[in-house]
């Protein structure tokens, strides 16, 4: 089976290399490829393109975004894990790096062992939505309704391993009920099903849902962060609505093949950290409801520690639920 690939130059690198360290090693001398596991135009792709354009300013070379879709988001990491460890092939991935070991019993790579870490990028909150004509008007009403209706409620997600699936799992556990889960092949068809009133509920990230929320096309029950977010300042959190400690974010990390020279990782990380301070990038993330990660998470060590913690957290939940993608 052939999987689609899309290569797009984010920014032509016309800038000269800067700083004595860059001058000494010469890295990078040509374009860097940033591999995205999902389709062009999707949430992770949007972050990748904005990030690539900003990082290229520091690196002095183009960053080419390549979409390698398929196999539930595992095709791209497998490709990068086997790429030349020279700093010219990178991966951007979300929570799926932490959930894949539990979801796939025959995963061909090990997220914790087969990569060098660069750093985290931005966190994107999730939102809990319902079809426009679902009876409950707020989260409290929905929780009561969900406990009464149980499996009569259809919960959409974007497919195995998607953060919308994880959010849905946590939502059912927090409420203490079981819905009928309906997976779709991505966030766009899942949202289309909700707008078409073919399903009742969907957890999806703000990069996709803010326009629908603001237009009134869906019922909106709250955000999945512990604190309210700047993009939707009047929106309550699920914790405020009674689901204590409920938190799900789409987080993004940058990886390279294991064995990539430390000098290359250092330069890529420096470009990442510069991008996270770039007003053009931070403004774009704010428009999407995303929040730039704090400095401690922008390092290789910060990403490594976070990936381990998330792998432990979600792995236990997935194994308990007996949910597998293969």
pLDDT at 2: 45
Torsion angle (degrees, nearest 10) of CA 193, 206, 76, 85:
180
| Alpha-carbon gap, residue 316 to 319, rounded angstroms | 5
Measured over the CA atoms of residue 53, residue 58, residue 64 and residue 65, the dihedral's sign is: negative
- The verdict on 142 and 229 lying in the same domain is yes
14, 161 contact by CB (below 8 A): no
Both 224 and 164 in one domain: the answer is yes
Domain boundary among 209, 241, 273: 241
CATH of the domain at 236: 3.40.190.10
Query: Which H or E run includes 279?
Result: helix 279-287
- Please check whether residues 52 and 92 belong to one and the same domain: yes
The reported pLDDT for the residue numbered 318 is 84
- Residue-range definition of the domain harbouring residue 181: 125-241
pTM greater than the 0.75 cutoff: yes
Rg of the chain over Cα atoms, rounded to whole angstroms, equals 20
Identify the pLDDT of residue 326.
77
pLDDT for 130 equals 98
Verify that 259 and 156 share a domain, yes or no.
Answer: no
Q: Is the peptide bond before 28 cis (omega within 30 degrees of 0)?
A: yes
Q: Write down which residue in 241, 275, 291 finishes a domain.
A: 241
Alpha helices by DSSP H, 96-181 = 96-103, 139-149, 163-175
Cβ neighbours of residue 143 under 8 Å, at least 6 residues apart? 175, 241, 242, 243
How many domains in the chain? 2
On whether both 131 and 110 belong to a single domain, the answer is no
Q: Do 263 and 281 have their domain in common?
A: yes
* 64 shares its domain with 114: yes
Q: Residue 46 to residues 6, 32, 41, 58, 316: CA-CA distances in angstroms?
A: 14, 17, 6, 20, 30
Query: Which pLDDT belongs to residue 208?
Result: 85
**CB 222 within 8 Å of CB 236:** yes
Per-10-residue mean pLDDT of the chain, 326 residues long, equals: 47 38 69 94 91 98 95 93 98 95 93 98 95 96 97 93 89 95 90 97 92 95 93 92 92 98 98 98 90 96 97 87 78
Distance CA 26, CA 313 (A): 41
Let me know if residue 290 belongs to a domain: yes
In a domain, 77, yes or no: yes
Name the residue among 311, 297, 309 with its Cα closest to residue 118: 297
Residue 215 in tokens? 């237009």
Model pLDDT, residue 17:
38
Indicate whether 326 belongs to any domain. no
222 and 269 housed in the same domain: no
């Amino acid at each position: 089976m052939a999987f689609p690939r899309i290569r797009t130059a984010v920014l032509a690198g016309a800038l000269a290399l800067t700083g004595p360290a860059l001058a000494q090693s010469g890295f990078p001398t040509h374009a860097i490829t940033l591999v995205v596991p999902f389709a062009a135009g999707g949430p992770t792709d949007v972050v990748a393109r904005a990030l690539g354009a900003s990082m290229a300013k520091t690196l002095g070379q183009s960053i080419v975004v390549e979409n390698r879709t398929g196999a539930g988001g595992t095709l791209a990491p497998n490709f990068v894990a086997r790429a030349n460890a020279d700093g010219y092939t990178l991966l951007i991935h979300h929570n799926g790096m932490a959930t894949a070991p539990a979801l796939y019993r025959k995963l061909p790579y090990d997220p914790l062992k087969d990569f060098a870490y660069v750093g985290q990028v931005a966190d994107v909150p999730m939102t809990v939505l319902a079809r426009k004509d679902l009876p409950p008007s707020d989260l409290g009403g929905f929780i009561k309704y969900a406990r009464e209706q149980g499996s009569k409620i259809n919960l959409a997600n974007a497919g195995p391993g998607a953060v919308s699936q994880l959010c849905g799992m946590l939502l059912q556990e927090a409420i203490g009920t079981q819905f009928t889960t309906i997976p779709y092949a991505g966030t766009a068809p899942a949202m289309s099903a909700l707008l078409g009133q073919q399903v009742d509920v969907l957890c999806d990230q703000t990069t996709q849902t803010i326009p629908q929320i603001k237009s009134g096309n869906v019922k909106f029950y709250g955000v999945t962060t512990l604190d309210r977010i700047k993009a939707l300042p009047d929106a309550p959190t699920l914790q405020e609505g009674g689901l204590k400690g409920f938190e799900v974010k789409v987080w993004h990390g940058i990886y390279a093949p294991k064995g990539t020279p430390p000098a290359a990782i250092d330069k890529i990380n420096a470009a990442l950290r510069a991008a996270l301070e770039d007003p053009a990038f931070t403004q774009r993330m704010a428009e999407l409801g995303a929040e730039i990660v704090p400095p401690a998470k922008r390092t290789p060590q910060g990403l490594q520690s976070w990936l381990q913690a998330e792998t432990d957290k979600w792995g236990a939940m997935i194994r308990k639920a007996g949910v597998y993608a293969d």
